[in-house]
Structure 1
């Protein structure tokens, strides 16, 4: 490449070029993901150089085994929201005591199963869940920690700057939770509150303002229901600059701000559940160009893989950044980049790419370590499932092979 974008290091660019364009070790014919575990290790170590917050990894962001193992070695705990995520984390040798169960759809049966498997930290999102947790804990003679998830709404005319006023199934209002007393649930330790209703925040100032607004009503709720508020879980939502506009969060400022929030709330522990902020930068998606054309004076590229592997651009209007894998000295030109699906939704964005990009060239997308393949729609049109690879210690290793549609079609 003539110029390396900020999200693509020269070292990984050279390695991908060698593996794809020269040795052909990495087969990208139908699209594939590559995760740089060395970059991930360094990033996670920098996040842990603080003593203000306890860090959890939101497994939904990337449940690949080697990614989980890397986070484990960095001292992260794990936030799981389904039985499948729990099974994947346990299979990596993670102790169940280091697992937090979140998610709005926890059934009575799932709660019993999680407790039987040793999970001891839960976020209750409804009165039913709280009652089921109490019953299951009593039956198993255990006392798990339980955090109540609160959904706040701001007064009319004071719109939450992060869009958190939309009603969601996550948690309950303060008024609903005020109808309980912690003494009504003796088999669980109701010791904290969970609040999270925003996403991909890129402003330290706005995030701090939001955290400040949340503390008074949460502390009041704890007092009203007889809770000693020991833990405040602020969820995640820390943003990534997908649009490459030169904006983003300062981790050191986050730690400074959260130290103030911790003191203001008077809690023993402050938790964050990081997803994209932990793993986005380590991931890449590669796909070849299968067609190039002009359409009503607009240049278009069609790739082998699109939202069947990378759905996020279609639902957020925030494309992953992209570059041509090979070196080019051509002038840049605006291209609409589409995937192979028979729907207008399958558009990965409009990008400035070298004018000489052509059929069989390979594009590499960055910041794909989070919300990539497992957030995609791989079954529509029965295209091949993308493979996943990791780069570590100078070696590329295939963790999950590409699969044809035969493995799920009946």
Structure 2
């Protein structure tokens, strides 16, 4: 699992002494170092998928490092603009673009959109004419293969994202004078840990995408490959090497002949900067299995229930006791509230804290915090080696009416 630095661990211990309830800590210093490495290249334009973590401090850090922003809702747009990100650096994605949302985005200055349907193309053109602006457009394409992988993004399964090439064939771009079609968007696989596999998938995508651009009569200036770059959630998986990804992207850029490659990173950009601290309630044995009951569960970390894959976990304090497999369960009255099985020291007790890593992405804002009326998790950042509390833990009375 990703290991925190000595200084970060010291801050995590400080938080555990201050807090009674579970909380998140984001290491902005480590995030900056990682983002600067990602940006030090000229192969691909990087956008940040705000859905991964919309925290203001995270968004500002990404903006400072030169990222652009992929937003999929009006709320995400407002959050990004509130951090003084220019609207020209925003790309609007997402399957549910209503007429009202499209007009709002245009009024706030957004000029680049991913169209997921023929309706969206029409609505974008109508709104652009109404506001007397020109929009840049990417068509989202959904491809299917007879055999393949399935994951939360769909893989080979039918999803609401984009259209199949045959349906896009019915689009006559000349009918939409306010739109400049600059390329295509395709993204179907998530949390990939093999650059070779990514390259193979991308290469299979090129022929149908190129055929579509020829059919519709536009030059494919931009190829947007979405995200999908993974991080390891278990000790057996190797991390995805950024240089290997760049080498694969360079091949795709050359083979496709596009002027620009785009990617929208979420997990790969921010996962490793985050930690979730969780106090132990008790240890017990059930039918020969060791169980840990903890204060926070899928009310703060929903991903294990959605993806069937737990976040890495370790005991915060040092222990030399033998390791034992523990099934970790949160406080909710449902068997879905499981944070996985983890090897932890046998001497773990009710005074201990667990730390879950890789929670910089798909943590707090992907959770279900209101179920059973538990407190909302506090959030801290480590910035310039200093620990800052951004939001206190909130009691149910703060949101119940």
Q: TM-score range by the shorter chain?
A: over 0.9
Determine the C-alpha separation between the residues in 2 that align with 1:84 and 1:285: 24
Cα RMSD for the two superposed structures: 1.2
Determine the C-alpha separation between the residues in 2 that align with 1:42 and 1:394: 13
Q: Displacement of 1:19 after TM fit?
A: 4.1
User: 5 Å matches for 1:163-182?
Assistant: 164-182=155-173
Determine the C-alpha separation between the residues in 1 that align with 2:88 and 2:391: 28
Q: Which of 333, 340, 344 matches 1:342?
A: 333
Q: Displacement of 1:401 after TM fit?
A: 2.0
Determine the C-alpha separation between the residues in 2 that align with 1:401 and 1:328: 30
Q: Displacement of 1:203 after TM fit?
A: 1.0
Matched, 1:231 2:242: no
Which secondary structure state, in structure 2, belongs to the residue aligned with residue 388 of structure 1?
A: strand
* Structure 2 segments unaligned to the other structure (5+ residues): none
Determine the C-alpha separation between the residues in 2 that align with 1:85 and 1:370: 15
Which secondary structure state, in structure 1, belongs to the residue aligned with residue 191 of structure 2?
A: coil
Determine the C-alpha separation between the residues in 2 that align with 1:120 and 1:400: 33
Query: In structure 2, what is the equivalent of residue 213 of structure 1?
Result: 204
Q: Displacement of 1:160 after TM fit?
A: 5.3
C-alpha offsets along residues 299-342 of structure 1, whole Å, 9 cap, x if unaligned? Answer: 11111100000010111121111111112111111111110000
C-alpha offsets along residues 373-399 of structure 1, whole Å, 9 cap, x if unaligned? Answer: 111111110111101110012211111
Alpha-carbon spacing, 1:317–1:161, altered in 2? closer, same or farther (3 Å): closer
Q: Which of 324, 327, 346 matches 1:355?
A: 346
* Structure 1 segments unaligned to the other structure (5+ residues): none
Q: Which of 1, 12, 18 matches 1:16?
A: 12
Q: Displacement of 1:266 after TM fit?
A: 1.0
CA contact (8 A) 1:313 1:349 kept: yes
User: 5 Å matches for 1:306-321?
Assistant: 306-321=297-312
C-alpha offsets along residues 225-256 of structure 1, whole Å, 9 cap, x if unaligned? Answer: 11111111000010111012132322111111
User: 5 Å matches for 1:33-112?
Assistant: 33-112=24-103
Determine the C-alpha separation between the residues in 1 that align with 2:175 and 2:351: 65
Determine the C-alpha separation between the residues in 1 that align with 2:15 and 2:161: 44
User: 5 Å matches for 1:373-384?
Assistant: 373-384=364-375
Query: In structure 2, what is the equivalent of residue 304 of structure 1?
Result: 295
Matched, 1:159 2:148: yes
Determine the C-alpha separation between the residues in 2 that align with 1:315 and 1:360: 29
CA contact (8 A) 1:7 1:367 kept: no
Q: Displacement of 1:159 after TM fit?
A: 2.8
CA contact (8 A) 2:12 2:25 kept: no
CA contact (8 A) 1:7 1:281 kept: no
CA contact (8 A) 2:23 2:377 kept: yes
User: 5 Å matches for 1:145-294?
Assistant: 145-154=136-145, 156=146, 158-159=147-148, 164-294=155-285
Which secondary structure state, in structure 2, belongs to the residue aligned with residue 315 of structure 1?
A: helix
Alpha-carbon spacing, 1:285–1:160, altered in 2? closer, same or farther (3 Å): closer
Which secondary structure state, in structure 1, belongs to the residue aligned with residue 372 of structure 2?
A: helix
Q: Displacement of 1:406 after TM fit?
A: 2.0
C-alpha offsets along residues 58-97 of structure 1, whole Å, 9 cap, x if unaligned? Answer: 0000000000000000000000000000000000000000
Which secondary structure state, in structure 2, belongs to the residue aligned with residue 300 of structure 1?
A: strand
Q: Paired residues, what number?
A: 399
Determine the C-alpha separation between the residues in 2 that align with 1:19 and 1:159: 44
User: 5 Å matches for 1:114-125?
Assistant: 114-125=105-116
